[in-house]
Structure 1
Amino acid sequence: MTAVLLLLSCPTRAAAEPPPRRPPSTGPEQEMLDQAKRLVDQGRIADARDIHLTLWRLTRSASDAFRVGMLSFRLRDFQVAAEFLAIYFDMVGTPEAPKIWVPPGFKESYELARANFAEARRHVGALEVRVSEPGAAVLVDGRQVGVSPLKLPVFVASGQHHVGAQLAGAQIEVPAAVDAGGERTVWLVLRRAGAEAPGAPRATKAADLPGAAPPLPQLPPRGPALRWWTVGGLAATSAALGILGGVSVSEANHAADDRDAAFIRARWEVFRCRPGLPACDAYAEADGRAKTFTALSVGAFIGAGVAAGGAAAAAFLLAPQAKVRVGGVGTAPAATLSCSW
C-alpha cells in the first residue's frame, strides 16, 4: 500500500510544479526594452516594433513575439500581427495550461491578444503547407517561411500566391489562392527527376535479354489533342449526317404527299397513265423525288451511326495514349458524348 501511494503521488507533484521561470534580461537586452518602451510612449510604434523584432531574433522569447504581434496590430500590419501572435499562443499555451512561466495578469493580456488575433485574421488568409519530405525549405512568393514540417500556418494577404518547396535539387511550386479570413491547405509532393521508388523491382525489358533483337523504333505517343480532334470530327460528322437524314425524311414525306395527290388526279382524269399527260408526269416526278430522298435519308442515318461508332471507338482506343489531367475530361464522358449522337 505504501509503494502504491508513493507511485500515485509522484505524477501529482510533477503536475503541480509550475513551469520554469525565464531568466532575467541581461544589460543590453534591458536597455533595448527600455528604449522600445520610450518609443511607444512617444508614439513611434514602428521604431519600437523594429527593436522588438531584433530582440526576437536574438532571444526567441514569447514576450518579444507578443510585443511584435501587438505593435504590428496597432500599425494595422495584420499579416505580421497574425504571424507573431500565433507564435505567441503556441509558446505560452493557455491560461488554464501554460507551457512556460507567465507573469501576473497573464490572462488579461492573453485575452486581449486573442481578440487582436481574431480581428487580424479577418484581413488575411492562412495557408497550411504540407510537404511530402521533412527538412524541405518552404517558400511563399519566393520568400522562405520555414522548413517542413511547418508547425503553424503561413498568413498571407488575400489573393493568388505561389507556394513551393526545395530539397536536395528537387523542387515544386504551385499556385494557391486564398480569401481574407479563409484557410487553404496546400500539398506539395517532392520528386527528384528520374528517381525511382526505393526498393521497387526493375522491369525486365526484351532488349535486356541476351541475343535479343534491337527494339523497333517507337511511334511518337498520341496526345490528348489527337484523341479529341478525332472524336470531335467523327461526332460532328455524325451530327451533320443525322441532320441531313432528318431533312431528307421531311422532303421524302412531302414528295410522297405530292405523289399521292397526283395519283388521285390521274385516276379522275385518265384511266391509264402514259407519258405526256400532266397528271401522269406529276405523279412520276413526285414518285422519283420520294424514292430519292428516302434513299438519301437511309444512307445519311447509316453514315451517322457509323460515324458515332467511330467516335466511340476513337474515344476508347486513343484514350490509353493520352495523359490524364486534373479537372480534364476523361474517357467515360467522351464515350457518352459520342454514343449519344
Structure 2
Amino acid sequence: MRCSPRGPITAAVLLLSCPAPATAEPLPRRPPSTGPEKEMLDQAKRLVDQGRIADARDIHLTLWRLTRSASDAFRVGMLSFRLRDYQMAAEFLAIYFDMVGTPDAPKIWVPPGFKESYELARANFAEARRHVGALEVRASEPGAAVLVDGRQVGVSPLKLPVFVAPGPHRVGAQLAGAQVEVQAAVDAGGERTVWLVLRRAGSEAPAAPRASKAADLPGAAPPLSTRGPALRWWTVGALAATSAALGVVGGVSVAEANDAADDRDAAFVRARWEVFRCRPGLPACDAYAEADGRAKTFTALSVGAFIGAGVAAGGAVTAGFLLAPEAKVRVGALGAAPGVALSFSW
C-alpha cells in the first residue's frame, strides 16, 4: 500500500498505519563478566604489569576454556606472541579472527578502537606464521577425532588449520574403531593439506578386484620426501660456490695465458733476429718454447674452468628446482582397507 499524506490528520493516521523500517539486529555481545571472572581479569592485568607474562597467559587460557570469548582468545594470542610461543599465538589469533570478523564486517559487537587492535593482531599473526607451519587436515568422515603427534586437535571437519613447528609430524584420525595415521612434513611459513580417508566399521568393500594385497597396506605408499631446507640450500650453495670459484680460476687463467702469449710473441721476434733456426740451448729459442707452453697450458685451463663453472651453475639451478619443497601432501585410501597414498605437487 502506498502511503501519501494529503493533510495533517491524514498524515498522522498514515504515519501510524505505515510499517516502520526494519532495523538491523544488534550484534551479539559477550555476557557480563561474573565476580570470579573479574577477579581473574584483574589478577592477569597485575601480572602483566609485573612482567609475568606467562602467568597472565595461563589465567586468560583458563578464562578462554570457561567463556570461549573472542577477547580471551585475543589476549591468549597476543601474550603468546610476546612469549615467542609462535605456535600458540598463531592458533589463538586465527580463532580470534574467525570469531570477530573484520573491522568492515564484524561478526560480534566490537568496542571503540577495535580497528587498531585488529591491525596489531594481524601484524603479530603474520610474524608468527613465518615461524610455524600449517596443516590443513581433511578427513573423509565427519565426527572423527583428529590427532597431530598424538594430541587431539579437534573433530572433523576442522574449520581452521593446525599450526605446528617446522618438520615432520604424525597426523591421524579415529572413528568407530577405524583409524589412519600418516607422516606429513611442513616448512616454516609453509602449508600442507593432509587428506585422511576413514571407512566406518562394516562398510562394504568395492566390487572391483585388487591387483595386489600388498598395495592396500599403508607401508606400500611412497615414502615421504626427505628433502628439507638444509639439504636444498647446502646443495645449491655448494654448486654456486663451485661455479664462482671456477669462474675466478678461468679469469685468472685467461690473464696468465695472455701474458704468456705476449712473452711468446716477443721471444719469437728475438729468435728471428738472433738466429736463423731455433735449436735447444739458445736463450731466445728456450724463452719462446717456455712461453708457448705456458700460453697453451693456461688457455686449456681457462677453457676447462669456464666449462666447469657453467656446469656447476646449471647444477645449482637444477638442484634448487628438484629439491624445492612440495606444496601439497594428499592422503587417500588404497582398495578397501584403510590406508594412505601420498602424492606430491608443486
Q: TM-score range by the shorter chain?
A: 0.5 to 0.7
Q: What's 1:188 paired with?
A: 196
Q: What's 1:88 paired with?
A: 96
Q: After superposition, where does 1:327-338 map in structure 2 within 5 Å?
A: none
Q: Give the C-alpha shift of residue 8 in structure 1.
A: 11
Q: Give the counterpart letter for 1:191 in structure 2.
A: R
Distance 2:203 2:30 in 1: 48
Q: 1:75 aligns with which of 75, 79, 83?
A: 83
TM-score (norm 1): 0.55
Structure 1 residue 137 corresponds to structure 2 residue 145 = yes
Q: What's 1:161 paired with?
A: 169
Q: What's 1:55 paired with?
A: 63
Q: What's 1:170 paired with?
A: 178
The size of the alignment, in residue pairs, is: 205
Q: Give the C-alpha shift of residue 20 in structure 1.
A: 2.8
Q: What's 2:73 paired with?
A: 65
Distance 1:106 1:174 in 2: 41
Change (3 A) 1:148 1:222: closer
Q: After superposition, where does 1:1-341 map in structure 2 within 5 Å?
A: 1-2=1-2, 9-10=21-22, 13-14=23-24, 17-192=25-200, 195-196=203-204
Q: Give the C-alpha shift of residue 23 in structure 1.
A: 2.0
Q: Give the C-alpha shift of residue 193 in structure 1.
A: 6.4
Q: Give the counterpart letter for 2:106 in structure 1.
A: P
Distance 1:161 1:40 in 2: 34
Contact 2:47 2:53 in 1 (8 A): yes
Secondary structure of the residue that 1:173 maps to in structure 2? strand
Q: Give the counterpart letter for 2:107 in structure 1.
A: K
Secondary structure of the residue that 1:97 maps to in structure 2? coil
Flag the structure with more relative contact order, 1 or 2, with Cα contacts below 8 A and sequence separation at least 6.
Answer: 2
Secondary structure of the residue that 1:52 maps to in structure 2? helix
Secondary structure of the residue that 1:195 maps to in structure 2? coil
Question: Per-residue displacement from partner, 1:224-268 (whole Å, max 9, x unpaired)?
Answer: 9xxxxxxxxxxxxxxxxxxxxxxxxxxxxxxxxxxxxxxxxxxxx
Q: Give the C-alpha shift of residue 222 in structure 1.
A: 9.7
Q: Which moved more, 1:130-139 or 1:21-30?
A: 21-30
TM-score (norm 2): 0.55
Distance 2:214 2:91 in 1: 46
Identity %, equivalent residues? 84
Distance 2:145 2:207 in 1: 31
Distance 1:39 1:186 in 2: 40
Distance 2:69 2:213 in 1: 60
More helix by share: 1
Q: Give the counterpart letter for 1:37 in structure 2.
A: K
State which structure, 1 or 2, has the greater radius of gyration over its C-alpha atoms: 1
Q: Report runs of 4+ in structure 1 exceeding 6 Å deviation.
A: 200-203, 221-224
Distance 2:26 2:146 in 1: 36
Change (3 A) 1:201 1:189: closer
